[in-house]
A and B are shown apart, each in its own frame.
Chain A
Amino acid sequence: MLTKIYDRLASLTLGLWLIGGVCLFLGIGSFSGGGAEGSSINDMPLFAWLRETPVVTSWWLWLTIACLALLALNTVVCSIESLRNKYGRTNFLVLIAPQLMHLGFLLIVLAHLFSAYGGYKQVMQVYEGSAIGFPDGERVQVAAITAAAGPMGMMTDFGAELRYGAPGNEKSQTIRPNEPLFYKGVGIYVKDVGMVPERTALVEIHREPGAGCALAGALLFTVGNVVLLAVRRGK
């Protein structure tokens, strides 16, 4: 019985059907309300969204996750089988490159799992001179809010100078688009500023616990992909 299940899980055909399934359900999701731009799905951790959203809206995502979970299992088993069957019989790089890509894929799936469980996002409007409070009592001071406009009046740059750290050891950093401040495990991002009647900034606080894992997965995947291209060159 267990051998039968293992053989099924090691099947390439199963992998193909599962990839097709993920494509299908993501495609359906892209046309449904849940995956639409501006949907609340991007404002809270995925698992929290799934708990709060009726299944009639989120069914495509449940099925995507089910297919992905099986696909992850299928990937692990296929990699084990490939290593077992080909070890010592083929060039090491030819054997290892696809497995690195598989491992990268699995790390990326794991990263999404971490973020889906422990991600955090908060949007707030801050004024020049105000402070962003942290649960441990620490405060990040909004020292200055700046903006620059181009000849047509379009905003070409904006930012907020933040001061943080213990008294006597204060540090300062100006956050801009693409230049957040990473502090106490969260990222502080400036999204927009207003200069009249008061200097205000729209700030987002993000915690993305899967980011490191996703980067590691992406790097492993890229290395595997480059090695695969190198070993297949000229063949």
Chain B
Amino acid sequence: MKWILVAAAALYLFGSFKRPVFFAGLLAELVYLALRGVELGRLPLIGPHDTLVFFSTSIALMAVPFFYTPPLRDSDGFSWSVGFLAALFALLALPFPSFNMPLPPILRTLWFEFHVALAFFAYALFGVGAVLGGMFLKDRARAVLDLQYKAALVGYAFFSASMVSGGIWGYYAWGTYWLWTPKELWTSILWLFYTLYLHIRLKGAQWERMVAWAGIIGFAVTLFTYLGVSMLMKSSHSF
């Protein structure tokens, strides 16, 4: 079944400057996720393989509304850049085995699925924001920076909702809405960083370059929170 994922990555990587090819890649990835979901009987959100595929699909999915905005309607560069990001994470998923174990009892709750799915939608929007930040630094089109703000704001809303659902789940599962673990510390850092981003924008037009850079650095913090903490630090949140 992994050939579907390889096909999706190839479509993103070699053809996503053409919108129909990008959509074909997204469709292939959605089919792969749906097949995994049917096989497991739940959302595939456990382990590095499934989370990387979910992340990759989320990036492509969250980029779609931006295709129809006036500044990006004719931009092949944007669709190729988000296609490249989606392909990168789809390819990173390939070497990892896909686990078919039943869910441990502690993860068998809707709060867990909300928590993880919303976090990945947020991560994806932060990725889209980073791409838009790069485009602004290259072309200095103010409209693109406004789109970066929208991506970050919606991503921030998803991420906040993910933290709230994680807190509720934590209270029912562990007796506390907060634990001092590396993942929770970095989750707070990421949330605070995007709070910082949203407030830097209030400083005015002379801070535009800083805002664009903050959107790019924010995605680096996102990747460390998702992948870095799981790989470099011991945490109950490791995939």
Decide whether A and B assemble into one complex: yes
Between-chain CB contacts (< 8 Å), 11 pairs: A16-B196, A23-B192, A37-B235, A41-B180, A177-B106, A178-B105, A178-B169, A178-B172, A221-B160, A222-B160, A225-B161
CB neighbours (8 Å) of B179 from chain A are 42
How near does chain B come to A29, taking the closest CB pair, in angstroms? 6
Contact check: which of A152, A180, A205, A215 meets B168 at CB < 8 Å?
A: A215
Contacts known (A36-B182, A178-B173); A16 close to B200, Cβ less than 8 A: yes
Interface assignment of B96: CB less than 8 Å from any CB of chain A: no
Interface assignment of B75: CB less than 8 Å from any CB of chain A: no
Residues of A within 8 A of B (CB): 12-13, 15-16, 19-20, 22-23, 26-27, 29-31, 34-39, 41-42, 111-112, 115, 119, 121, 150, 152, 154-158, 176-180, 187, 189, 204-206, 208, 210-211, 214-215, 218-219, 221-222, 225-226, 228-229, 232
Question: In the complex, how many residues of chain B place their beta carbon closer than 8 angstroms to a beta carbon of chain A?
Answer: 49
Docked-complex contact B175 and A206, CB < 8 angstroms: yes
CB neighbours (8 Å) of A178 from chain B are 105-106, 108-109, 111, 169, 172-173
How near does chain A come to B238, taking the closest CB pair, in angstroms? 9
Q: Which of A30, A35, A154 has the most chain B CB atoms inside 10 A of its CB?
A: A30
Docked-complex contact A19 and B195, CB < 8 angstroms: yes
Task: Given contact pairs A16-B200, A30-B182, A187-B171, enumerate 14 new A-B contacts (beta carbons under 8 Å).
Answer: A19-B196, A22-B192, A23-B193, A36-B181, A36-B182, A111-B177, A112-B178, A156-B105, A176-B105, A178-B106, A208-B171, A208-B177, A214-B178, A222-B164
Docked-complex contact A30 and B105, CB < 8 angstroms: no
CB neighbours (8 Å) of A42 from chain B are 176, 179-181
Question: Which residue of chain B is the closest to A40 with respect to CB atoms?
Answer: B180
Docked-complex contact A229 and B169, CB < 8 angstroms: no
CB neighbours (8 Å) of B153 from chain A are 228-229, 232
Interface assignment of B233: CB less than 8 Å from any CB of chain A: yes
Residues 119-165 of B at the A interface (beta carbon under 8 Å): 150, 153-154, 156-157, 160-161, 163-164
Interface stretch, picked from B11-19, B29-37, B42-50, B183-191, is B183-191
Question: Which residue of chain A is the closest to B172 with respect to CB atoms?
Answer: A178
How near does chain A come to B171, taking the closest CB pair, in angstroms? 6
> How far is B177's CA from A49's CA once the two chains are assembled, in angstroms?
18
CB neighbours (8 Å) of A27 from chain B are 185-186, 189
Contact check: which of A29, A111, A208, A228 meets B185 at CB < 8 Å?
A: A29
Docked-complex contact B185 and A39, CB < 8 angstroms: no
Which 7 A-B pairs have CB atoms at the shortest separation, nearest pair first?
A206-B175, A177-B105, A30-B185, A218-B164, A177-B106, A30-B182, A41-B180
